[in-house]
Amino acid sequence: MLTKVSQIDFFWDLLLGFLNLAIGRLLPRLHVPKTDLTKKVAIITGGNSGIGFQIALEFARRGATVHLACRNASKADNAVSEITNQIPESHGRVEAHTLDTSSLASVRAFAEEWKGDIDILMHNAGVASVPEGQSLFTPDGFPLLYATNFLGPFLLTYLLEKYLAPGARIISTTSTGQYAGDISARFSLNSVTNHIEPGFHTSRKLNKKVPADADVYNNTKLMQVAFTRLLQQHFDHENGLKNQRLVHCFTPGFTSTPMVDKFNIRSFRLDPIWWILQSTVIFATDPRQGAATGVWLATTKDGGGNGGGYWDRMTRRVSKIDVTDPHIVQRLWVRWEADAGIEWR
């Protein structure tokens, strides 16, 4: 049961979060100090487009070696050229790699090829709706949005853990939509395939035959917030030293990126939120501003202080996970391990 204070904090932060979404463009611009990232190594999934591309650009500008992990090789090569054109001194420091986060085999192949320390791991790749004509499930049998936005990045973190530098930052681009996510106390602890499970993949209240993509998306974003908390606990426990490695997640706010053009007709039919987003995109903030909180969390000297939390506009906010029963949150890890086919702790 929540205390009165935390309920007030939660509803206040939820309100501010949705206000930021609606009027993000009108708010004062965020400024991220120019920390030196020379000799730092960063991986950014989905770094070829939108928010991920801006994050990659800012890391390259600060002197980091930047690895773009993207599903489309030619888009990734174009992004490398674009970054090195804009920042000529980054030539030779920006590389493209193939990674499809929706495929467990692709995640494993990427990790097998990886060598060397990682200072920043940005889980940014994401989809908000299943592309037209594509199956709701991946060949591995998981809902596409869950596999892309959450399960692949979960497995990737596990496989790359041994390469994470002692002071590494692991940051996920989540969404204000996490407030609309909801996890039940009784989801299956065994892996479930080719089925969208209410209470896990979508809100517990949802029993529609075909859920709207937004329902699945919100739960994947909520899982990113839960993972942030649990991964920080894992590192603190493993290292015995609190906050050596820092795990954060942030919402970019409503940002004008190609994502908005990728909403499919099915989404429009099932959920009015997509109509609202597409017709209000002129109020959305630009990708540079959308990326700012992530860049700040990855580069600021004290790393945003304590890890494990959710950030909006460079401010730590109370998330839906902060007001979810901790036993439910702990159970999630067991299910993720089952789905990814690993034993992590």
Ligand X SMILES: NC(=O)c1ccc[n+]([C@@H]2O[C@H](COP(=O)([O-])OP(=O)(O)OC[C@H]3O[C@@H](n4cnc5c(N)ncnc54)[C@H](OP(=O)(O)O)[C@@H]3O)[C@@H](O)[C@H]2O)c1
Per CB under 6 A, 255 contacts ligand X = yes
Q: Which is nearer to ligand X, 251 or 331 (CB)?
A: 251
Q: Which is nearer to ligand X, 175 or 267 (CB)?
A: 175
Q: Which of 13, 20, 43, 49 binds ligand X (CB under 6 A)?
A: 49
Q: Which of 90, 175, 219, 232 binds ligand X (CB under 6 A)?
A: 175
Per CB under 6 A, 153 contacts ligand X = no
Per CB under 6 A, 52 contacts ligand X = yes
Q: Which of 46, 63, 143, 304 binds ligand X (CB under 6 A)?
A: 46
Q: Which of 202, 257, 267, 293 binds ligand X (CB under 6 A)?
A: 257
The piece of 36-44, 89-97, 120-128, 232-240 that touches ligand X (CB under 6 A) is 120-128
Per CB under 6 A, 131 contacts ligand X = no
Per CB under 6 A, 101 contacts ligand X = yes
Q: Which of 90, 157, 173, 324 binds ligand X (CB under 6 A)?
A: 173
Per CB under 6 A, 304 contacts ligand X = no
Per CB under 6 A, 24 contacts ligand X = no
Per CB under 6 A, 259 contacts ligand X = yes
Residue 214 CA neighbour count, 13 Å, CB half: 19
Per CB under 6 A, 48 contacts ligand X = yes
Least Cα distance to 301 among 174, 169, 172, 171 occurs for: 169
E strands present in the chain: 41-45, 65-70, 94-98, 118-123, 164-173, 246-251, 309-312, 315-317
Alpha-carbon torsion 129, 268, 281, 15, what sign?
negative
Closest distance to ligand X from the beta carbon of 158 (Å): 17
Per CB under 6 A, 57 contacts ligand X = no
Spatial distance between the Cα atoms of 70 and 269, rounded to a whole number of angstroms: 29
Q: Which is nearer to ligand X, 44 or 64 (CB)?
A: 44
Q: Are 250 and 311 in contact (CB under 8 A)?
A: yes
- CA 243 to centroid of chain Cα atoms: 20
Place of tokens 């499919």: 264
The piece of 123-131, 264-272, 300-308, 323-331 that touches ligand X (CB under 6 A) is 123-131
Place of tokens 């986060």: 101
Q: Which of 57, 127, 246, 292 binds ligand X (CB under 6 A)?
A: 127
Q: Are 216 and 197 in contact (CB under 8 A)?
A: no
Q: Which is nearer to ligand X, 74 or 330 (CB)?
A: 74
- Residue 138's SS3 state is coil
Closest distance to ligand X from the beta carbon of 188 (Å): 24
Nearest-Å Rg of the Cα atoms of the chain is 19
Distances (CA, A) of 158 to 62, 164, 299, 341: 27, 10, 23, 11
End-to-end Cα, the chain, rounded Å: 28
Closest distance to ligand X from the beta carbon of 238 (Å): 27
Closest distance to ligand X from the beta carbon of 260 (Å): 7
The piece of 25-33, 34-42, 95-103, 197-205 that touches ligand X (CB under 6 A) is 95-103
Q: Which of 20, 90, 124, 289 binds ligand X (CB under 6 A)?
A: 124
Distances (CA, A) of 176 to 272, 294, 335: 17, 14, 24
Spatial distance between the Cα atoms of 84 and 345, rounded to a whole number of angstroms: 40
- Residue 207's SS3 state is coil
Residues that bind ligand X (CB under 6 A): 45-46, 48-52, 70-72, 75, 99-102, 124-128, 148, 173, 175, 251-252, 254-255, 257-259, 262
